[in-house]
């Protein structure tokens, strides 16, 4: 049995108009902004979450427990990539992006509704940890899927520019989380934030996430993906195939670890450090973090 194989350049030749590419890019980055708002907003209210969910003899231990829960989600991110990366190859980028958006917004919204330690005891931190693990799983699936999506729509000439803008959007999502959380703290005050205000940033994620998931579900997959899917020549073991570029993967991994450490330190931990350790007011913290994020 013979089979005609089209040349690779023909199979992956972009066939989308500029309008379609613009729509795809805007839809992808809008969801990416909300995804990282959902993921990062926890860090800006960690001090309130620690008090609400962890029974500890000192506030410092409660805060450390809260940040440990924040860190736990990072261990789930590689697993998210392993789960949702191959899934994106099978069911399409747009469907996978909508799925991870729904998972992220749902778990974030759930945190805003959770009962505290005073209400249900040890089940409260257990539920919080579960929600953060789901957030980490979603974040891991988001990064690879949306990067592949915008790279395919960007084409050979603008692939680098398109994917580099995703990092700017991710930091913008974290900055948006800072503005909401630290802005509320400056307006409501510490007492109101501890009582109920810390829930508001999480609850905002629900409707925003549903809108982003809907927008993503209405997008089109790239011409490159459709051509490869219809050709029947998809990679059977994509994870194994990636190790052909093991040196490049290690370089990217170390580079992104350094970059991520810097902006999480500045945008997330500094938010707590300014008030708890340095004694600045919530209003001063708001302006410090906002200016640092914009810079």
pLDDT digits (tens, 9 = 90+) for 81-132: 889 988 888 888 889 999 999 999 999 999 999 999 999 999 999 999 999 9
Interval 40-87: pLDDT, tens? 899 889 889 999 999 876 788 888 888 888 888 888 988 998 899 888
Q: What would the two tokens of residue 243 be?
A: 């190790």
Task: Please give the domain boundaries of the chain with CATH numbers for all domains.
Answer: 17-220 (1.20.1250.20)
Alpha helices (H) along the chain? 8-11, 18-44, 46-53, 59-91, 93-113, 117-120, 123-188, 190-192, 199-217, 223-231, 238-242, 246-264, 270-276, 282-294
Q: What would the two tokens of residue 62 be?
A: 């409660």
Using a cut of 0.75, tell me whether the model's pTM lies above it: yes
At 57 the pLDDT is 67
Residue whose token pair is 């795809």 = 24
């Amino acid at each position: 049995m013979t089979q005609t194989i089209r040349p690779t350049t023909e199979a992956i030749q972009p066939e989308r108009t500029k309008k379609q590419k613009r729509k795809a890019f805007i839809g992808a980055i809008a969801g990416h902004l909300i995804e990282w708002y959902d993921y990062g907003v926890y860090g800006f209210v960690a001090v309130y979450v620690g008090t609400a969910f962890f029974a500890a003899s000192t506030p410092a231990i409660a805060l450390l427990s809260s940040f440990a829960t924040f860190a736990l989600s990072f261990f789930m991110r590689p697993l998210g990539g392993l789960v949702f990366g191959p899934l994106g190859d099978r069911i399409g980028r747009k469907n996978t992006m909508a799925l991870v958006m729904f998972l992220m917004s749902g778990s974030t919204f759930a945190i805003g509704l959770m009962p505290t330690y005073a209400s249900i005891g040890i089940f409260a931190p257990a539920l919080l940890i579960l929600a953060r693990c789901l957030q980490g799983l979603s974040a891991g699936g988001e990064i690879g899927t949306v990067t592949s999506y915008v790279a395919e729509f960007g084409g050979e000439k603008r692939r680098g520019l398109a994917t580099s803008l995703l990092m700017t959007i991710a930091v913008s999502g974290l900055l948006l989380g800072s503005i909401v959380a630290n802005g509320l703290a400056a307006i409501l005050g510490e007492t109101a934030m501890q009582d109920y205000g810390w829930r508001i940033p999480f609850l905002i994620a629900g409707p925003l996430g549903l809108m982003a998931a809907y927008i993503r579900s209405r997008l089109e997959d790239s011409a490159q993906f459709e051509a490869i899917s219809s050709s029947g020549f998809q990679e059977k073991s994509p994870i194994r195939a990636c190790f052909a570029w093991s040196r490049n993967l290690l370089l990217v991994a170390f580079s992104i670890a350094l970059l991520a450490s810097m902006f999480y330190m500045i945008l997330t931990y500094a938010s707590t450090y300014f008030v708890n350790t340095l004694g600045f007011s919530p209003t001063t913290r708001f302006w410090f973090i906002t200016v640092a994020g914009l810079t």
